[in-house]
């Protein structure tokens, strides 16, 4: 289980990003942003968090949960996230349960907001 901020929470997030230029001889850089957690877009992956910032060039940051290093909640709360790995026909999908809401990384969920992977997890629970 992972605790992530709820929508409309004001947070300061530290997360790692791949450093493709290797200016500092490391393969990752750490970025810190402050903003408001907003709902993910429909096409967004199931295990991402979207934060609205004051950055004029890139006001929305989409951050994968596994890359988050530290979360400082300024206002708002957290929710428990459970992740389930489903392997189907040699493809891996991630089903995420956020309290009573389910989402999946598969293309079917992105277009129809339901899929067989979520149903499989519901049966197991």
Greater model confidence, 68 or 28: 68
pLDDT at 20 over 80: no
Write down how long the chain is: 125
The arithmetic mean of pLDDT across residues 34-61, rounded, is: 87
> What local confidence, expressed as pLDDT, does residue 24 receive?
58
> What local confidence, expressed as pLDDT, does residue 23 receive?
60
The arithmetic mean of pLDDT across residues 104-120, rounded, is: 88
Residue 94: which of 104, 81, 107, 82 has the closest Cα? 104
> What local confidence, expressed as pLDDT, does residue 48 receive?
82
- Candidate from 8-17, 36-45, 87-96 with smallest mean pLDDT: 36-45
- Domains recognised in the chain with CATH numbers: 2-78 (2.30.30.520), 79-124 (no CATH)
pLDDT at 72 over 60: yes
Confirm if 124 and 115 have CB atoms less than 8 A apart. Answer: no
Residue 34: which of 70, 67, 80, 77 has the closest Cα? 70
Q: Please, which pLDDT band fits residue 49 given cuts at 50, 70 and 90?
A: confident
Residue 30: which of 69, 73, 76 has the closest Cα? 69
The tokens of 44 are what? 């967004």
Q: How far is CA 16 from CA 28, 66, 105, 117, in A?
A: 6, 9, 21, 29
């Amino acid at each position: 289980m992972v605790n992530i901020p709820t929508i409309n929470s004001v947070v300061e997030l530290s997360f790692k990003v791949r450093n493709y230029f290797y200016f500092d001889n490391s393969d990752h850089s750490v970025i810190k942003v402050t903003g408001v957690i907003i709902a993910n877009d429909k096409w967004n992956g199931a295990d991402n968090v979207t934060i609205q910032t004051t950055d004029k060039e890139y006001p929305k940051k989409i951050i994968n949960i596994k890359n988050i290093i530290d979360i400082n909640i300024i206002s708002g709360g957290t929710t428990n996230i459970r992740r389930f790995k489903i392997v189907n026909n040699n493809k891996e999908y991630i089903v995420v349960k956020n309290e009573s809401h389910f989402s999946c990384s598969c293309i079917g969920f992105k277009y129809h907001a339901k899929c067989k992977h979520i149903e499989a997890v519901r049966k197991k629970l």
